[in-house]
Structure 1
Amino acid sequence: MDDEELRVGEEIGVELLQAIDDSQIYVPIFSENYASRKWCLRELVRMVDNISKSKEKKILPIFYYVKPDDVDLKTESYRKAMGELKKEHEKKQQEKFPHEVESWEGELWEKALTKVGKIKGWVLQQGKSQAELLDLVVEKVLQELKIRHKSVTKDLVGLDDRVAEVLELLDVDCSDEVRLLGIHGMGGIGKTTLARVVYSELLSHFGKNCAFFDDIRETFNRKGNTGVLETIEKMKLKNSDLALQILAYEMAEMEFSHALQLFKRHAILEGSPARDVDDLAIDIVDTTGAFLWLQEIDDSIGKLKCLLDLNITNCGLIERVPDEIGGLVKLERFSLKSCYEVHGLPTSIGDLASLRKLDLSKTGITSPVH
């Protein structure tokens, strides 16, 4: 927010009002001088108006060296400031022609102040840590916004540089063009995970105009091109006259050090000295490499009708086996060894008539498979 620009014009611009409308959480900071600034009060009126129209929007106030009673106009502090604003308004109106007279906004400001003054927030007093308060505010805002964020696994490794590269390519602050970025790379290497993280990074920039669709393939399989077009229709651009630039980003295999770190976070190697565990981890990562990124077995695996051997070993991020696995009618050997997050198998596993060997060692499956 550009304070100086707002002070000069004493008006809130259309863009700022739009930003307020697009926001889900409002954190007004009430200071000693808050009630003497008309642009602050106008913002507050807009916030209060928005939360009255949507249950999803919330105001989380911070009382910065003032008390909630001050904001609720129960003390002289804010009442005095409002009185000064009214005197200033009346004086200016006397200097204007009749057709230029503006109405007094004070009643709206007072209603907004008294409403927000009753909302539980954070009170910062002398001697209290601002850093601790900031941590509390950030934690609360993230809790409130959690339903808007895409679920991303906590144990991410080696993505920071990739996220930075993608954000640089997208350059969301560029106002004269739209950028379409395709992320490509081998299956299971983490393309969707990268997209989820980038989405979460950009969510605050676009507000309610940000959307994530991770089921395009399923939509195509169910509805064909029509279903995909309906999904894309939801993402229609407001400014369709902007230039379109199409870019590509290659998702390369992760570095060995990152792969080793990721494996050791998920692996459970018990009963061996620490040195032996490290050596074993290095051997496994050296063998499996990039496939430590694998987070899911794609539903399309059921189309591999001639597959004889399916070895998904040491993939600690996989949590489920899709029902489509039952379509592998010729599968003879299936290993989920050391896929620690897999806690069950679909009933379609019984359709694997050719299966001779099933390795579920070091998985989360405790019940016998019949």
Structure 2
Amino acid sequence: MKNILILAAMSLPLASQAQKGTFTIEGNIGRLNSPAMAYIDYMCDGAGKEDSAVVTNGRFTFKGLSTGHSYARMALSHDGSGKQKAVYTGDVIYFYFGKEEIKITSADSLANATIAGSKVYNEFMAYNKAIGGSIMDLNKWANGQVNAASPEQRQDTAFLGRINTEYRKRITNRANAQIEYAIKHPNSYFGMVALSEGTGTPVDVKRIEPVFNSMHKSLRESDMGIELKQRILAAKTIHVGAPAPRFTQTDVNGQPLRLDDIKGKFVLVEFWASWCGPCRAENPNLTQQYAKYKSQGFEVIAISLDDHKDKWLEAIAKDKLPWIHVSDLKGWNNEVGRQYGIRAVPANFLLDENKHIIALNLRGEELNKKLTELFGN
């Protein structure tokens, strides 16, 4: 019987703008040997970084640069089956670190490891304790409830619904605790982390903007602060009836494309990524609708939140996507994504011929119905 996997939309938070320094992470996990591999993805100065290391006698090492507060995802492939499997179904942890020498130690796995030598990590753990745990802690709780259930309970939609309701309640309570943490810690880096994560989507501007304005200037002017300010502005200005924010982004051939280059057409501005399952699942329907209405003045501009061009182009080719594709390959730091306040994909904005927003987040039958309304059968 399959376990239920309850996922929360999340992205790697952005690193603060500060002077960079070196870090070293030394791992010692049991007695693993080749083909075992360790992988790390982290943020440094607003840019995503990644690295991998062969595991020899349980040991591996990562070295690089940090601005003082870098957020990392580390995954360990025990059997050498690759990064993707390790990240999404294997042994993975999330943590903050700084310009430090850090040791990660366990007899068997990253999940059971202790992390030593990092003041930043200790501050991160204290922050998590104050807000009721990390998202991964809540996911672990929910999946644990399902794993402990009987086969009959796992078939019971009412039982599973109660777990999901409690999970959502805990998510809401955590978000409220994060806002309170930000209010009480306006000078703390993790105060800004709390506000950024707790803000959620859609942004409650009346609640969030005063808290943001109370944060220390250095935090507001950090990359994380700037990104949150962009989300607040997007929430205030991007809505049905408003003009769509103008943008320029590079297409698959390296040529700049402006939104205003598309004239006299209805345009669907579609945010997606090659790694986004729901995005890829919607592509067949969108392909049908595009073929049906392109000649009548329907265009799609797909903005990818990928950070690897080869994976982006591979997904376009595999899904046979015939519309316009652009990306700056900055992942979650995509400039247009930040401008539009994007925190999860898929997301889209349907524009009229004058580039005014007429609908938000249409997919499946909702999109089909709206296009029929605009163009007829």
**Is TM more than 0.5 here?**
no
Give the structure-1-normalised TM-score: 0.24
* Higher Rg of the two aligned structures: 1
Give the structure-2-normalised TM-score: 0.23
More strand by share: 2
More helix by share: 1
Identify the structure with bigger relative contact order (alpha carbons < 8 Å, sequence gap 6+): 2
